[in-house]
Structure 1
Amino acid sequence: MSSQKIPTPIRVASVPYSQVYIRHLELPDAEGAGSVRRLQDPEPTGGPRSQQSAWWPPRMLEPDWIRKNSGSFDLMHVHFGFDALDPQTLRQTVAELRAAGKPLVYTVHDLINPHQPDPNAHEMLLEVLIPAADALITLTQGAADEISQRWGRSCYVLPHPHVIDFSTMDRLREQRAQSRGDSQRGRRIGVHLKEMRRNLSEQVIEPLAQIVEDLPGCKLQVNIHRQVVDPQNKEYLPALAEFLAAGHDAGRWDLVAHEYFSETELFDYFGSLDVNVLPYRYGTHSGWLEAALDAGTAVIAPDCGYYSDQDASVASYRWDGEQADADSLRHALQRQLSLPYVPGMDAQGRREQREALAEAHLRLYRSLMGSRGVGQPTEPEARQGQTASGR
């Protein structure tokens, strides 16, 4: 074992930092927070800057940035944003980390990119990152098993932390608990199509509407970002807009078109639903799912990816890549409407989980800094034993 001194705090070049998942890997309180310091996102230069993610494209992944700033961090931890690079540039990024003696940690959030119609581009980048990383993390056992099968690499399985802040979580879950006793209250089932990114489909709406019509006291609500149904906007989708408007006019669902939610609006939206149905065509994991559970909202997800692995309360419907299976969707909805408990962890459980996640990351960083040479991947001794909680 190396006698190399472990720096305190460990300075992590986090790619990115300004994202709720990464921020919630830190301890919720100031005590002990000095053990890890994640660098703030450098201002992007050149290229199209994302309107939703101010850190994109991430400068930390530029080989030149690593050369010039290697003295400012101890290791790099990649989460998102590497889709801004081509495989050759990403290989150069890895080479610069090796040359500077900086370990690389990669959290495998997505085995397929939810923003891209062709999986090949993302897979080519995974072929660089997964073999090169000194340690791998993923969010579910199902994803870890696929990574093991495809790349022969083991992962630390560490679940997704909370999305909603603790005080809001307490408020929404208390409201949920109180409303469960109201037999006269209508039930609201929601589908959010957002901006109709590549992995979203409206195909779940028609069979879901037929099911909801047969359930007394239930109403289907369909949300979408306004630009998709605005004829004056370049992102307008006329066929989809016509379909959604027709169903709304016929009273089959409530159509709500709106601008991007603020954080408060988004959390209150989750709190307004009894069941949140995810309309994903493909994917791996979902932060949206986690936010819904934080609000105590039951979740129904397609059986693609590993959504149902994220929480035992999630119900699944069969999805064949083109359409939702109506029978499995009906069964899932009936199950979620009859849940005898408020799904998801309460704020205290999420707080304890976050503390465990912070400790798990700190242990991993220390192991990389103190006992392994760069370029020698660190494998979990017992992958099943590396989970931060039983979620």
Structure 2
Amino acid sequence: MAEPSSSASSPRQIRVASVPAGHVYVQHCSASEPDGVRRLKDPRPNGAPSTSQRWWPPVMLEPEWIAAHHRDFDVFHLHFGFDAQSPAQLAALVKTLRRHGKPLVYTVHDLRNPHQRDPSAHDAALDVVVPAADGLITLTPGAARTISDRWGRTATVLPHPHVIELPRIARPRPERAHFRVGVHAKSVRPNMSVSPVVRVLAETVAGLPEAELQVNIHRDVTDPASANHAPQLVRELRELADQDGVTLVVHDYFDDEQLWDYLTSLDLSVLPYVFGTHSGWLEACHDLGTAVAAPDCGFYAQQRPCHTYGHTQDGGLDGESLHKAVLAAFEEGRAPRATPRHRTRERSHIAAAHRALYTEVLQ
């Protein structure tokens, strides 16, 4: 294995090629203060303007980039962004890293890709990357057990770091008279089943005092020229929005501040997923003090405190459990919320654990 650069007067600096380096998860896996780990910036994809923050498609996944830049980093750390890579391309990446003596660390965020209805492509990718990795990380004990069962590998379990910046986490939540439940269907990813969830929520909210349901979708879902156009869903949501207490909001993609404002405006955010593993949305809600009702597919309930209801690709929706989850959130009032102090300590722990793993795979 390659040795990281060192200095006689300071700890050895470990240079990490993270894919992608610009994602908030990856940024918050580093300590807020210098800790001897330096992550390379994302190379700009071909065609992206010089001012762009876009990291996809990741240039670092190209064997040619590894061959040209292997002297610039000590450890290669894969997170996201390999959806379009074939097993053969991933095998070529692994082979090139091996040729240049660069250890591979992989954080298993997704055992099931939320953007792919058919799991076979992601399974094939994992069958290349997980056995080849010199070190593995994941976010929950349940995911670690699955990794052990499927591949006989041990993954270090580390919590998801904060998503929201600390000053915003410290900001008080606004007082509201109404209890607002929200479902954000975004651009209707393949892992979402929206209409059944919204129908149950509309009935539940109608039976609660001072309660309302807000359903959000991106504008492209309503646009006939868009690949995400879902006319049947739009018709169903507009019909439901005619009921008292139900509002449909169609809008363009939120930027970060708009998204944080939206989440803060909710008392309960319901995730309408039928498959998945972990959730950055759940972390953002925890940072902001918004309760979450998450499906029992994946390992959301192990990630952060949340209400759980039955919803899977094979079994469909357990409407009664969703009804009970909403009632529980209504009765409990304020949800458990992260604090800046806890998130700061947690981030320091996560950063130290990453450095320890990098040091281990470099030996």
AA of the residue aligned to 2:181: I
Structure 1 counterpart SS, 2:338: coil
Report the counterpart of residue 293 of structure 1 in structure 2.
Answer: 286
Distance 1:119 1:62 in 2: 24
Distance 1:206 1:159 in 2: 33
Report the counterpart of residue 32 of structure 1 in structure 2.
Answer: 34
Extract unaligned runs of 5+ from structure 1.
Answer: 372-391
Q: Alpha-carbon deviation of 1:59? A: 1.0
Distance 2:73 2:163 in 1: 27
- Contact 2:275–2:312 at 8 Å: present in 1 too? no
CA deviation profile, 1:314-368 (whole Å, cap 9, x unmatched): 1110114263212111221122222265413212111111111111101111122
Report the counterpart of residue 82 of structure 2 in structure 1.
Answer: 82
AA of the residue aligned to 1:32: P
- Contact 2:17–2:73 at 8 Å: present in 1 too? yes
Per the normalisation by structure 2, the TM-score is: 0.93
AA of the residue aligned to 1:95: K
Does the C-alpha gap of structure 1 residues 4 and 70 become closer, same or farther in structure 2, counting only changes over 3 Å? closer
Are 2:353 and 1:351 equivalent residues in the alignment?
no
Report the counterpart of residue 175 of structure 1 in structure 2.
Answer: 173
CA deviation profile, 1:269-296 (whole Å, cap 9, x unmatched): 1110000100111100000010011110
AA of the residue aligned to 2:256: E
Distance 2:312 2:43 in 1: 41
AA of the residue aligned to 2:265: S
Distance 1:239 1:190 in 2: 20
Match for residue 181 of structure 2 among 159, 172, 189: 189
- Contact 1:6–1:366 at 8 Å: present in 2 too? no
What pairs with 1:170-319 in structure 2 (closer than 5 Å)? 170-171=170-171, 174-175=172-173, 179=175, 185-202=177-194, 203-231=196-224, 233-311=226-304, 313-319=305-311
Does the C-alpha gap of structure 1 residues 45 and 341 become closer, same or farther in structure 2, counting only changes over 3 Å? same
Per the normalisation by structure 1, the TM-score is: 0.86
AA of the residue aligned to 1:73: F
Distance 2:2 2:254 in 1: 50
What pairs with 1:306-345 in structure 2 (closer than 5 Å)? 306-311=299-304, 313-321=305-313, 323-339=316-332, 342-345=335-338
Distance 1:232 1:4 in 2: 53
Tell me: higher relative CO, structure 1 or 2? Use CA pairs within 8 A at least 6 residues apart: 1
Distance 2:4 2:249 in 1: 56
Does the C-alpha gap of structure 1 residues 78 and 230 become closer, same or farther in structure 2, counting only changes over 3 Å? same
Report the counterpart of residue 21 of structure 2 in structure 1.
Answer: 17
Q: Alpha-carbon deviation of 1:249? A: 2.2
Distance 1:335 1:112 in 2: 29
- Between 1:333-342 and 1:56-65, the stretch displaced more is 333-342
AA of the residue aligned to 1:117: R
AA of the residue aligned to 2:42: D
Does the C-alpha gap of structure 1 residues 3 and 9 become closer, same or farther in structure 2, counting only changes over 3 Å? closer
AA of the residue aligned to 1:129: V
Does the C-alpha gap of structure 1 residues 251 and 229 become closer, same or farther in structure 2, counting only changes over 3 Å? farther
- Contact 1:161–1:353 at 8 Å: present in 2 too? yes
Structure 1 counterpart SS, 2:332: coil
Report the counterpart of residue 105 of structure 1 in structure 2.
Answer: 105
AA of the residue aligned to 1:13: A
Report the counterpart of residue 9 of structure 2 in structure 1.
Answer: none
Distance 1:235 1:3 in 2: 45
- Contact 1:190–1:277 at 8 Å: present in 2 too? yes
AA of the residue aligned to 1:24: H
Distance 2:91 2:335 in 1: 46
Distance 1:113 1:272 in 2: 29
Distance 1:223 1:40 in 2: 34
Distance 2:334 2:204 in 1: 23
Distance 1:318 1:342 in 2: 20
- Contact 2:295–2:312 at 8 Å: present in 1 too? no
Superposed CA RMSD in Å reads 2.1
- Contact 1:163–1:291 at 8 Å: present in 2 too? yes
- Contact 1:204–1:323 at 8 Å: present in 2 too? no
Structure 2 counterpart SS, 1:200: coil
Does the C-alpha gap of structure 1 residues 95 and 257 become closer, same or farther in structure 2, counting only changes over 3 Å? same
Q: Alpha-carbon deviation of 1:79? A: 0.1
Q: Alpha-carbon deviation of 1:4? A: 5.9
Are 2:42 and 1:41 equivalent residues in the alignment?
yes
- Contact 1:138–1:144 at 8 Å: present in 2 too? yes
AA of the residue aligned to 2:191: N
Structure 1 counterpart SS, 2:317: coil
Does the C-alpha gap of structure 1 residues 27 and 263 become closer, same or farther in structure 2, counting only changes over 3 Å? same
CA deviation profile, 1:67-103 (whole Å, cap 9, x unmatched): 1111110010000011221111110110111110001
AA of the residue aligned to 1:297: T
CA deviation profile, 1:12-44 (whole Å, cap 9, x unmatched): 00001111100111112xx334x0111111112
